[in-house]
Amino acid sequence: MARQLPEFRLQLHPVTQDARKVLGFRWADPHVGNRHKLGGTPDFQQATTVPACPSCGGEMSFYAQLDSVGDTLVLADCGLVYVFVCFDCHESTAFIQSG
Ligand SMILES: [Zn+2]
């Protein structure tokens, strides 16, 4: 059984003027760009199976999802990148789903 992390919401705090310029969407739903989190359960955009660890074959733990940032820094049509880890083998994998 994969280890489950407690959920943390993550917020972006742009550090530079360049970062402030690329933050936000003109036409996307207001939640797009604010779906970053660590732990909890993934908010998959499409039906997906949890990846298996390439070393031990066990179910990997959901670690984080990172959202698209803005109109000029977007993942696959307002998508997210999902990160999974195996705490035993120190393996990780990530994939993108479009929104
Ligand atoms: Zn493993």
C-alpha 4/C-alpha 21 separation (Å) is 35
**More confident site: 1 or 3:** 3
DSSP helix, strand, coil percent of the chain (3-state; round to 5): 5, 30, 65
How many angstroms is it from 84 CA to the middle of ligand 1? 11
Residues above pLDDT 90, as percent of the chain: 94
C-alpha 69/C-alpha 33 separation (Å) is 5
Sequence spans of domains, the chain: 1-99
How many angstroms is it from 38 CA to the middle of ligand 1? 20
How many angstroms is it from 10 CA to the middle of ligand 1? 26
Report whether 86 contacts 58 (CB < 8 A).
yes
List, for residues 23-51, the tens digit of each pLDDT value: 999 999 999 999 999 999 999 999 888 99
How many angstroms is it from 94 CA to the middle of ligand 1? 15
List, for residues 59-78, the tens digit of each pLDDT value: 999 999 999 999 999 999 99
How many angstroms is it from 63 CA to the middle of ligand 1? 14
C-alpha 10/C-alpha 26 separation (Å) is 21
Taking the whole predicted model, whether its pTM rises above 0.85 is answered as yes
